[in-house]
Amino acid sequence: MIKLATFAEILEYANNNNKQIFEIFQEQEAHLQEKSVKDIRNKLTESLQVMQTSISHGLANKELSASGISGEDSNKIKERYSNMKIKTPFGQMYGYIIAYALAILEENLRMGKIVACPTAGACGIVPASIIAYAQNFSINRKKQIDALLTAGGIGKVISNKVALAGAIAGCQAECGVASAMAAGALTELMDGDNDQVVHAAALALKNVLGLVCDPVAGLVEIPCIKRNGFFAIHAATASEMALAGIKSAIPLDEVVDAMKQVGVLMSPLLKESSEAGLATTKTGLKHLK
């Protein structure tokens, strides 16, 4: 198996060999794990089931987190968008993407089972996007797995350059990367071509550069939970732009380089230390008591 380390290499190889990007990712993963492609896809089918369960459990449970800070917001969004008579600037799927993202984070904080994609603090963005789209457009399981492969591959290539951790590069490396993963996945899900998949990821990622990690009281709750809802929608926006033919002026590999540079320049006080930003606001400090 040819080792492809950059998005430019992957894109060139895929296009020259008449393959979709997800096929490259699944072949590389099968080679790395010394398993068959079928095994890799079966494992992702299990992951997809966990994602679906975390959404249903999250929405069904209104129990607050151990801190008492969160636990009820996903239901508020679901109830609002379940009412077909409400006035909303977007369709019902918009609300369900947000509700699903919040539900997964709330389930995580209740110590439920989730899939870290790429991290626990950003675990709602990719699943909420893919599952809401699949339900709304009646997309089959195979296509959903193709999308998950696309998302996972994008995250893996980025992680070869930048550690996907708020403590290393801020939340741009968590929710930011998750949004790029979801944007590429949604573009694949909606039958975008290889170039559109990569442009969608680039469009999403370059607009979160500098996003800090400033968790209130050191917990993955404020602003993390609501941030997942925002960036799931952000991913959908990037995908729609790419599907319309809009391109990122900066190639994805260069966007990743820029994110790494920004992460290095970012103050340690804004990288998961809870020593600045929202964590040290007057209200934020109250949650330490």
pLDDT, one tens digit per residue, over 57-99 is 999 998 999 888 989 999 999 999 987 778 888 888 999 999 9
Q: What is the mean pLDDT of residues 180-200?
A: 98
- The Cα–Cα gap between 79 and 77 comes to 5
Average pLDDT, integer, range 194-219? 97
Q: What is residue 165's predicted lDDT score, i.e. its pLDDT?
A: 96
For residue 205, tell me if it sits in a domain: yes
Q: Are 216 and 284 in contact (CB under 8 A)?
A: yes
| 2 lies in some domain | no
Look at residue 85 and tell me if it is in a domain: yes
Question: In the structure, what pLDDT confidence band is assigned to residue 262 with cuts at 50, 70 and 90?
Answer: very high
pLDDT higher than 80, residue 236:
yes
At residue 100, the pLDDT reads 98
Winning range, highest mean pLDDT, from 28-32, 195-199, 283-287: 195-199
Domains: count for the chain: 1
The answer to whether 14 touches 194, Cβ cutoff 8 Å, is: yes
pLDDT of residue 84: 72
pLDDT on residue 2: 67
How high is the mean pLDDT of the chain?
95
Mean pLDDT over 227-251 rounds to 98
What is the predicted pLDDT for the residue at 75? 93
- pLDDT of residue 203 exceeding 90, the answer is yes
For 150-186, the pLDDT digits (tens) are: 999 999 999 999 999 999 999 999 999 999 999 999 9
The pLDDT, as a whole number, for residue 1 is: 61
Is 1 contained in some domain? no
Is 54's pLDDT higher than 70?
Answer: yes
* Structural domain containing residue 103: 7-286
Q: For the residues 147-151, what does the mean pLDDT come to?
A: 98
pLDDT of residue 248: 98
- Which of these, 245, 154, 168, 167, lies nearest to 202 by C-alpha position? 154
Can you tell me the mean pLDDT for 33-59?
97
Distance CA 87, CA 150 (A): 35
pLDDT score for 82? 86
Mean pLDDT over residues 49-60, rounded?
97
Residues 204, 235: Cα–Cα separation, whole Å: 6
- Mean local confidence (pLDDT), 261-268: 97
